[in-house]
Chains A and B, each alone.
Chain A
Amino acid sequence: MQLTGAQALIKSLEMQGVDVMFGLPGGAILPVYDPIIDSSIRHILVRHEQGAGHMAEGYAMVTGKPGVAMVTSGPGATNIVTPLANAYMDSTPLIVVSGQVATGSIGTDAFQECDITGVTMGITKHNWLIKDVDDIPSVVAAAFHVATTGRPGPVLIDFPKDIANATMEWYWPSSVEDLDLPGYHPVTAGDPELIRQAAGLIRQAHRPVLYVGGGVLKSRAADVLRALAERTGIPVVTTLMARGAFPDSHPQCLGMPGMHGNYTAVTAMQRSDLLISLGARFDDRVTGKISAFAPEAKIIHVDIDPAELGKVRTADVGIAGDCAMVAEELLSAMNADSETPVVQDLTPWWEQIHTWQEQFPLYYDHTEGGAIKPQMVVEQLRDAAPADAIVVAGVGQHQMWASQYWQFDYPYTWVNSGGAGTMGFAVPASIGAKVGRPDRMVWAIDGDGCFQMTAQELVTATAEQIPVKVAILNNAYLGMVRQWQEMFYEERYSEVYLSPDLPDYVKWAEAMGCVGIRAESPEDVGPAIEKANSIDDRPVVVDFRTDAFEKVFPMVAAGRSNDDIVVHPDQAAPPR
């Protein structure tokens, strides 16, 4: 069967099981948009290529399937650089196809030419420039294999226009072994001897903590994690990337650690004598000052990426392997030795933990009559939503409040930009999440600064009938930066004021075909949420006018030790 390169590309995507892609056409990618008309793949036309990338990420994060985006050359391709960098930091499987000028024009500064494989070399797991039409099926198959196996990540396929117009004899690689990837052998199973050693360390620990990162979600290890936690009785912290990997409602869950983690999660790690890290990477936002981090803790570090082991903190036992497989093997190793108990008596440790939980719970000032507290909005959104609703956040104060005050009891219900901290992530990512899980209620909890970066994608949502809900915690500021200027720059506020009503978010929402709702006082919050939840035929935007002076607590200042955690001023200062 003879196909054009463009047809072969679309057919290859179909062969990979792609059911939806996000994109925006242009000159160089034009030939590929013709066979899309006849394809089973649903194409969602975005308003800006960055939106396509974040939508594909949101889709991937809730479904576990790779997200696919397609853009044209030059500015189309550079506009999707931020999503690629974001997906690289958060290990999200993302496939981007970019148009490129014809091979004969490459290097001539042709119209809309950009060396996008060069630009994205450091922010993709791999990228390909297709120079032979016959390579299309094998490159697409290799791209999906690389993006979704080992430590997942973004890949880019650069697709010159003449390759799209050339013809080839169709084939499909029959197996992974047929792909030309001699240097790619991701690890899966952990070393049994190291797993036995890890079981030994767990057996000796008196103050262990399971430090759970995003890798647990990537390896779909939530069930085995729960079995491991319950078998051992060890407390669990879930990082920003792992919210939902272990139920917040579980008595062993301490919540989120890190710069804005809760006091107990941060301090339990800090005082621990054994950290069992599953798919986490000792990010600086979790460790605080690294030399002062968990000084008495031995480290078991499990990660599918061998380069993470010892990158930040030397592991006593470093196991390269898939979290689900290693956790499974760890459980069997523990159970194999029936003579000795799997753990020490953790009662004194739990007593200590419960004391911290009682002393320093998450707290904000609930005093009646003032402005709307952003935390209260998150709590009311949470209480009004089904337990399996998906929450999507941008980056900043609202993101921290969403992570702190939502109750995540199911995996893949939390979508946010962790490593890269990409403002503007929430609106497009929530659209992608809703496309991936149309059965679920999807709330984007966004800031007013973030919303203004990518709000135009709500036009996409209306046009494509993707009924997401957006809660803007509108404090009229770039709030997190404002908080730092208040705390660390003597209240010298520099370029952080945005205004509560410029733009008018309700009118803007309506102009984009959404329902716009405004909540100006605490008593408006409940009815606004009720109304928003009752609408399921179009996107909804709720403009919550929140207290501009509210800060995120607890907080560990950048570069400080986690011992220096600062709780809300109304709470007694923790003992040093």
Chain B
Amino acid sequence: MSAATVSPLHGGMGTPRHHILSVLVENKAGVLSRVAGLFSRRGFNIYSLAVAPTDEHEHFSRITIVVDVESAPLEQVIMQLDKLINVVSIGELSPSEAVERELLLVTVAVGPTERSQVIQLVGVFGGEVVSVGADQLTVMLAGRPEKIDDFEGLLEQYTVVELQRTGRVALPKLDRH
């Protein structure tokens, strides 16, 4: 992917057509499998998925699922998800009404000249160098997924050794009034 291409999650007209589901579940063994199974049974591809406990007692976890499907079949999946005994609540977040963030870790091979270029680029994007090797750098960047896309695109002129994105997490935007 280059910086010029739009993310596959965004339609050609710039209107996002992906859906973000924020699913609060009981933190129990097998729950993720139950949730994921509902998507696979209907032939839906989960684009990204992030899951972590939400409370200090770790009774509940929040799963943020990004899927790229039409609204109608998704509604049926949401209804079926709601039937899972371990699912406590489901929120569907419209991308325009949500705050979305993602984290990227990437290791880049850098020669003497490239090292400073990459460090500069990281600085422009507000990232952080988290590990330094003799001829490699590991960089962290958190931000809006589109920003991560841009950064990833710009890194393509260098040799990317390893790259890991977390998948997005999201919460509703707050009301300003």
Q: Which residues of A contact B (CB under 8 A)?
A: 117-118, 121-122, 125-126, 129, 131, 146, 180-184, 305-307, 310-311
Contact = CB atoms under 8 A, between A and B. Distances in A.
Given A118-B33, A122-B41, A182-B26, A307 B79 contact: yes
Contact of B85 (A146, A305, A306, A310): A146
Given A183-B85, A183-B86, A311-B76, 20 more contacts: A118-B30, A118-B33, A121-B30, A121-B33, A121-B34, A121-B37, A122-B41, A126-B84, A126-B85, A181-B85, A182-B26, A182-B88, A183-B25, A183-B26, A183-B88, A184-B85, A305-B83, A307-B79, A307-B83, A310-B75
A125 B33 contact: no
A183 B30 CA distance: 15
B71 interface: no
B34 to A, nearest CB: 6
B92 interface: no
Given A121-B34, A122-B37, A311-B76, A129 B85 contact: no
Nearest to B88: A183
Contacts of A184: 85
A103 to B, nearest CB: 12
Contacts of A131: 29
Contacts of A126: 84-86
Contacts of B34: 121
A305 B88 CA distance: 16
A476 B29 CA distance: 49
Identify which of B30, B75, B76 gathers the most chain A CB atoms within 10 Å of its CB: B30
Contacts of B26: 180, 182-183
Contacts of B33: 118, 121
B85 A125 contact: yes
A311 B76 CA distance: 7
A311 B86 CA distance: 22
Contacts of A183: 25-26, 84-89
B164 to A, nearest CB: 27
A129 B30 CA distance: 10
B82 interface: yes
8 tightest A-B CB contacts, nearest first = A307-B79, A183-B88, A126-B85, A183-B87, A184-B85, A182-B88, A307-B80, A183-B86
A95 to B, nearest CB: 15
Interface in B52-109: 75-76, 79-80, 82-89
28 contacts: A117-B30, A118-B33, A121-B33, A121-B34, A121-B37, A122-B37, A122-B41, A125-B83, A125-B85, A126-B85, A126-B86, A129-B30, A146-B85, A182-B26, A183-B25, A183-B84, A183-B85, A183-B87, A183-B89, A305-B83, A306-B79, A306-B82, A307-B80, A307-B82, A307-B83, A310-B75, A311-B76, A311-B79
A122 B82 CA distance: 14
Task: Give the most central of A146, A180, A184, A307: most B CB within 10 Å.
Answer: A307
Interface in B24-54: 25-26, 29-30, 33-34, 37, 41
B144 to A, nearest CB: 31
Contacts of A305: 83
A306 B82 CA distance: 9
Contacts of B88: 182-183
